[in-house]
Amino acid sequence: MQIFDITCIAKSSKHGGICIAGIKTGGSGWLRPNSNKRNGTLYPEHYSTQDGSEPQLFDNIRIAFIRLK
């Protein structure tokens, strides 16, 4: 499992969940996580913040990846 820290710079609604993307805080490029669900949509079980809310634009987010494509 790899862990990445990103600054969220894109967020949209997608099939009842969300889609996020951001810049890696180390400066090595973009990252857009996908789930194993239909269309790669992220649902609450795929993300959480310290206060239990959805990630917002410009939040710093730590993401654990099981598999990279």
Identify each DSSP E strand in the chain by its residue range.
2-14, 17-24, 30-31, 60-65
Q: What percent of the chain has pLDDT over 90?
A: 42
Q: What is the full per-residue pLDDT of the chain (69 aa) written as tens digits? A: 888 999 999 999 988 899 999 999 988 999 999 998 878 999 888 877 778 888 999 999 888 888 766
Instruction: Read off the pLDDT of residues 10-28 as tens digits, 9 standing for 90 and up.
Output: 999 988 899 999 999 988 9
Q: What residue ranges do the domains of the chain occupy?
A: 2-65
CB atoms within 10 A of CB 60: 11
31 forms beta bridges with: 22
For the whole model, what pTM was predicted?
0.80
